[in-house]
Structure 1
């Protein structure tokens, strides 16, 4: 006998093109064929990249957060948004009571969503965290630390499942010794498949690639500095950026382009949009750069390794992303230190691909595991 269809409500910040959003889209694409009904609640009024596609699978609802311009307003919004989102979710779930699971993926506002789901009698209530605890200059302010500690207690009492993409992310979400690491369904191995691109051969030049949103945390400027150093001994080196600005007014990308121009590297750098053919670009590349100052578990590292593309990664990133061909380096050794290690790597290993088994990250397999949890499978400890 076929299992009864279930209805799942995802809660995320917005529908821009990013890792968390992809974690909603892959299950929708794969599991909607199995009588799973998906809806999404966006905590934003911004129209996002995936919205038109998601409408094929389910409904989009919104609780737009109020934007605060002043410093004191942003401080107070940490607390006022908690009350506002819980109130709006209470109201929404009274009008839409037939969900089998609520899956919340917003570290700051998971708690009020889970509380509302419990009040509404939703049987499966999942809180999920995709980021590690911030460090260094990105470390949480003390009042945020206190707030998240309170939220962790709320989640421990009211969520049926607490997941994180890494051990650090789980602890950031619900405290030490609680919750479970859960892989994200973000690699389509039928798409990130080296066999499709087997006719692309190495031209014995260093082609660097970096994929992700533009910003200080991702540290694209450091990648340009690496290119500058490599160009001294390997003048044919190139660098490809694929990504997007988080807001139209964000100055990081225009400043980055100007920096490339000032260093005389304009002819060596490409800026491609977020909808570029990422697997094809990875097939042409020699090394993926992830010099992030702060990161969770970068999906792009998994995608790159599925394509056999070695990754050079900042040691600020969790080593849980390493499936065999990631190398980790401190940013403190500088761009020249990274460039020297890239040269050493290609001289030792060549410019070609180095394939590893990524089957445990197959999104179809992981989506089936998600489905079991949405149907009520207890949290593994």
Structure 2
């Protein structure tokens, strides 16, 4: 027996300021890290603005070749899986997760989670083509299926497939109304007497 926490390999694509990164980091900040730890496997070219926080919380970051260089990608992730003896790999790469979970299966990882965070969206033709091509293979390599919503799960796994819904979690205290902060920010931005509509996220169909 060991007192070391279980380490879970979190498979990411580009780790920048995207929504998936924020969701995973929210989970990471709030779990009991004496029992469970996260390591992040991210693609080359990521800015990784969360690096300092991740390392302060006890996590590790591994940078691997992009999946467009598939042979190099598979060699790199399988090496990391074996060296760290991960028992759980959690892929947040949507339909691209078949590449990371194939590597996990080859490396002998017993628990392989595919977590789908999206569907096909208008105006993303190239991404949608890839998603539709890979979607039939989504259930081959995972041992557990997850999604951010019922719709996202049914889109990738099918309506007659069991999967677990993990609703995106946020810290509500960070978004409580504060009149003082509101007034200070409106003054700073010179919008004190203006009607403002705010949007956080990409201007795309899903958002």
Normalising by structure 2, report the TM-score: 0.78
Matches of 1:115 and 1:148 in 2, distance apart? 13
**Residue equivalent to 1:175:** 158
Matches of 1:61 and 1:87 in 2, distance apart? 13
Matches of 1:15 and 1:141 in 2, distance apart? 18
Root-mean-square deviation (CA, aligned residues, Å) is: 2.9
Deviation at 1:141, TM superposition (A): 7.3
Equivalent of 2:112 in 116, 119, 125: 125
Deviation at 1:198, TM superposition (A): 4.6
Matches of 1:142 and 1:9 in 2, distance apart? 26
Q: Alignment partner of 1:207: what SS? A: coil
Structure 1: gaps (5+ residues): 67-76, 219-291, 299-381
Structure 2: gaps (5+ residues): 184-191
Equivalent of 1:160 in 117, 136, 143: 143
Matches within 5 A, 1:94-133: 94-97=82-85, 99-133=86-120
Deviation at 1:32, TM superposition (A): 4.7
Matches within 5 A, 1:230-379: 292=204, 294-295=205-206
Q: Alignment partner of 2:65: what SS? A: coil
Normalising by structure 1, report the TM-score: 0.45
With over 3 angstroms needed to count, the CA separation of the structure-2 counterparts of 1:25 and 1:11, relative to structure 1, is same
Matches of 1:10 and 1:54 in 2, distance apart? 12
Higher Cα Rg: structure 1 or 2?
1
Q: Alignment partner of 1:46: what SS? A: coil
Q: Alignment partner of 2:145: what SS? A: strand
Deviation at 1:110, TM superposition (A): 0.5
Deviation at 1:96, TM superposition (A): 1.8
Matches within 5 A, 1:25-64: 25-56=25-56, 57-64=58-65
* Residue pair 1:133, 1:169 contacting (<8 A) in 2 also: no
**Residue equivalent to 1:89:** 77
With over 3 angstroms needed to count, the CA separation of the structure-2 counterparts of 1:141 and 1:119, relative to structure 1, is closer
**Residue equivalent to 1:149:** 135
**Residue equivalent to 2:196:** 207
1:189 aligns with 2:172: yes
Q: Alignment partner of 1:158: what SS? A: coil
Deviation at 1:143, TM superposition (A): 5.5
Matches of 2:15 and 2:132 in 1, distance apart? 28
How many residue pairs get matched? 195
1:16 aligns with 2:2: no
